[in-house]
Amino acid sequence: MKELLITIAKGLVEEPDMVRVDVDEPREDGVIVYHLHVAGNDMGRVIGKQGRIAKAIRTVMRATANRSNTKVVVEID
């Protein structure tokens, strides 16, 4: 899952070396939180107009997680 998020983010940004993903331990309700970090000038590229790209990233991650019966949340920091 982490590799998928990194691959998606690196394809969107101008500075792929600055892409970093931190993963929290599963919460009590079983949700795993992924924190996506990108360079400041690439933030708009990852979020997109009206958050459409961010929403698409979250949708892909949730769909992948559903295949393995897990729950994930993606936060863009």
For the chain, 77 residues long, the average pLDDT of each consecutive 10-residue run is: 94 94 92 94 94 95 93 93
Q: What's the pTM value of the predicted model, to 2 decimals?
A: 0.90
Q: Domain ranges for the chain, please list them.
A: 2-76
What is the average pLDDT value for the chain, to the nearest integer?
94
> Domain 2-76 is in which class?
alpha beta
User: In Å, how far are 15, 28, 61, 68, 75 from 71, measured between CA atoms?
Assistant: 29, 12, 9, 9, 14
